[in-house]
Structure 1
Amino acid sequence: MKMTLMGTGTSHGVPVIACSCPVCTSSDSRDTRLRCSALVEEGNQHLLVDVGPDFRFQALKFKICRLDAVFITHSHADHLHGIDDLRIFSHKNSFAMSRDKVISEKYPETSGEGLPIYTSERTKGYIHQRFPYIFVEHDKGGGIPKLHLISVDENNAENPLAIGQDQGKIQVVPIPMMHGNHHTDGYVFSYFGQKGQKNSIAYLTDCNFIPDESVELVKKAGGHIEHLVIDALREREHSSHCNFLQALGYAERIGARHTWFTHITHDMSHIQIQKYIDQHLQEFSGLAEIVKAGGSVSPAYDGLILEA
């Protein structure tokens, strides 16, 4: 199973518009960060996590030609507002398009209920409110995304989502978290290897509080967690995001072999963040032991490929 981090930046992205700070003008490609998004691949399955305003560029950059499902963490614009660009993967024709035989044959409507969009019941409501045109019939005009919104509220370690057939099947467990006063979901993606071992990647962006029950759920759902991708906005505290020390604290409790910071702002460069981690690692003895045994703790960057 492979996860490609297509964006690792905060809601502004990096460089930030109209900013000339050292990070925004850096020549290090790791300091250029699109809005957070990830692509999970196993066998013939291609799963997208979040569809922000940079999605069109990300899809072209990383050559996405197929999507089997989308997982939405929450309804904030930087994670959702590229949703219209999903129509290339699943679209619904207007009444006029369907009536015109030439057009309907050239642009056949996607069969079935549409592209599965997995998210919480709460976020489903926000999507309906913010993008009502997707869910109503159109008399004229071009195609619109054909989306099938599916709640993950009833899924857990005992009842994981199973995506795909036996060949390339991925299990997914949502992880409830808090993002300030906003509810959000992380996800644990798991795959059973040839020897039956369960390998997992935990993706926990946009949070400043992970309940004890959710920390335990990550560990229970994950089995062997090869990679943890976790919100780590900056060194200073923030009202709705983990700072670096909070992220290190959660990482120690979860115990993944490799930990990666994401949703990073422009306060510090990639190199500076790595130095910060190295300087503070001994404050987290459990993480330090994991690193001694061959693990790692580092800032993620756009284009980073994680394998489990």
Structure 2
Amino acid sequence: MKMTLMGTGTSHGVPVIGCTCPVCTSSDPHNTRLRCSALVDEANQHFLIDVGPDFRFQALKYKICRLDAVFITHSHADHLHGIDDLRIFSHKNSFAMSRDRVIAEKYPETSGEGLPVYTSERTKGYIHQRFPYIFVDHDKGGGIPKLHLIPIDQNTSENPLLLGDEEKIQIVQIPMLHGNHHTNGYVFSHGAKDQKKGIAYLTDCNFISDQSISEVIKAGGQIEHLVIDALREKEHSSHCNFLQALAYAERIGARHTWFTHITHDMSHEQIQEYIKAHLINFPKLSQIVSEGGSVSPAYDGLILEA
């Protein structure tokens, strides 16, 4: 199983529009960060996590030609507002297109209920409110995304969502808080119970309950990679800062921990130095690193394997 981090930046992205700080003007590609999104690949199945405003560029850059499902963490614009670009992967015709035989044959409607989009019941409601044109029939114009919104609240470690060839991939949603907003992390894992390996993706959060931490550990088996929200050094009202992210990583104990949703306050190199300087306060993470693991800032294009 492979996860490609297609975006690791905050809601502004990096470089920030109009900013001339050292990070935004850096020539180091590690300091160029699109809005957060990830692609999971397993046995020719392709699963997208979040579809922000940079999705079209990300899809072209990483040559996405097929999607089997989409997972949405929450309804904020930087994670959702590229949703219209999903239409190329699942297309619904207007009445006018359907009535015209030539056009309908040239641009056939996708069969079935549409591209599966998994998210919480709460976020499903927000998507209907924010993008009503997707879910109503229309008379004129081109196609719209044909999406099948599916609540994932019931998919816990005891009842994982099973997808992929022979349903080998197990997906569990992880409830978290993002300020006063509810958001979902996801754990993707595969393998038998005693050989299970997983990747945990926990962006946009500043509180993960004990129960959710337990769910991550139970769902992931041997967690090879933890991708976790780590906005900046300074505390924030709705995101983990670096120390909070390290504290959660200490409890989860993944072999490799990666910071994501990063601002332009510090460069990739400076964040790595910060982690190195503070790792002494986290004995479990220090032990993992001494045994070949790692704790680092993520970057766009990073490929994780489990």
- Give the TM-score normalised by the residue count of structure 1: 0.98
Q: How far apart in 2 are the matches of 1:134 and 1:86?
A: 11
Is the 8 Å Cα contact of residues 120 and 152 (structure 2) preserved in structure 1? yes
Selected match of 2:203 from 202, 205, 211: 205
Residue 147 of structure 1 deviates from its aligned partner by 0.1
Looking at structure 1, the residues matched to 268 and 123 of structure 2 have their Cα atoms a distance apart, in angstroms, of 32
1:186 is aligned to 185
Q: Which position in structure 1 is the counterpart of 2:59?
A: 59
Give the corresponding residue for 1:294. 292
SS in 1 for 2:165: coil
Shift of the alpha carbon at 1:2? 0.1
Q: 2:169 & 2:115 partners in 1: Cα distance? A: 17
SS at match of 1:3: strand
Distance in 2 between residues matched to 1:263 and 1:155, nearest whole Å? 25
After superposition, where does 1:41-56 map in structure 2 within 5 Å? 41-56=41-56
Aligned to 1:228: 226
Deviations 1:151-181 (A, max 9, x none): 0111100100011231x72110000000000
Show the counterpart of 2:170: 171
Aligned ranges 1:12-31 → 2 under 5 Å: 12-31=12-31
Q: Is residue 303 of structure 1 aligned with residue 298 of structure 2?
A: no
| Cα distance in 2, alignment partners of residues 54 and 180 from structure 1 | 24
The aligned residue for residue 254 of structure 1 is: 252
Counterpart CA distance in 1 for 2:196 and 2:114 is 30
Structure 2 residue matching 1:186: 3-state secondary structure: strand
Q: Does 1:89 align with 2:89?
A: yes
Between the aligned partners of 2:84 and 2:2, the Cα distance in structure 1 is 26
Return the alpha-carbon distance in structure 2 between the equivalents of residues 153 and 222 of structure 1: 17
Name the residue aligned to 2:266. Answer: 268
- Name the counterpart of 2:132: 132
Deviation at 1:196, TM superposition (A): 6.7
Partner Cα separation in structure 1 for residue 44 and residue 24 of structure 2: 37
Correspondence for 2:241: 243
Measure, in 2, the Cα distance between the counterparts of 1:73 and 1:132: 19
Which runs of 5 or more structure 2 residues have no equivalent in the other structure?
none
Distance in 2 between residues matched to 1:45 and 1:254, nearest whole Å: 27
2:123 is the alignment partner of 1:123 = yes
CA distance in 2, matches of 1:55, 1:170: 24
1:7 aligns to what?
Answer: 7
- Match of 1:183, SS state, is strand
SS in 2 for 1:39: strand
The two structures have a TM-score, normalised by structure 2, of: 0.99
In structure 2, C-alpha distance between the alignment counterparts of 1:58 and 1:12, rounded to whole Å: 16
Mapped to 1, the partners of 2:270 and 2:209 lie a distance apart of 30
Alpha-carbon distance in 2 for matches of 1:221, 1:186: 12
State whether residues 43 and 165 of structure 2, in contact with CA within 8 Å, keep that contact through their aligned partners in structure 1.
no
Query: Partners of 1:201 and 1:275 in 2: how far apart?
Result: 25
Q: Which amino acid aligns with 1:76?
A: H
CA offsets per residue over residues 256-292 of structure 1, 9 Å max, x none?
0000000000000000000000000000001000000
Aligned-partner residue type, residue 267 of structure 1: D
Contact 2:42 2:164 in 1 (8 A): no
Matched, 1:37 2:37: yes
Structure 1 residues without counterparts, runs of 5 or longer: none
- What root-mean-square deviation, in Å, do the aligned CA atoms of Structure 1 and Structure 2 show? 1.0
C-alpha separation in 2, matches of 1:156 and 1:287: 26
